[in-house]
Amino acid sequence: MSVTVRIPTTLRPLSGGNATVQVEGVTLRDVLTALDAAHPGFKDRLFDEQGNQRRFVNLFVADDDVRYLQGLDTPVPAGETVSIIPAVAGG
């Protein structure tokens, strides 16, 4: 199932400068694994040492924050969009 992943500006060097990437996957974990296989380096930026989503990275399937769904096991329908949104802090 082809899925579009939106890449934030800060991570675009990993995707060759592309703002979006097409990958295959049934769950969010599958999609992000495929993203890292196609463009190495994403795994280190998105996951901690235990393989969990980093706290400062927000992941969305469509417009839904996966922390309120099934986390990395959230299903991703074919044709859907996954967005990677780094947390912003400051004042």
74 pLDDT band (50/70/90 cuts)? Answer: very high
pLDDT given at position 3: 96
Domain boundaries, the chain: 2-86
* Predicted TM-score of the model (pTM): 0.91
63 pLDDT band (50/70/90 cuts)? Answer: very high
User: pLDDT by residue (tens digit) across 14-54?
Assistant: 999 999 999 999 999 999 999 999 999 999 999 999 989 99
76 pLDDT band (50/70/90 cuts)? Answer: very high
pLDDT given at position 11: 96
Strands (E), the chain: 2-6, 20-24, 57-61, 64-65, 81-86
The domain over range 2-86 is classified in CATH as 3.30.360.10: no
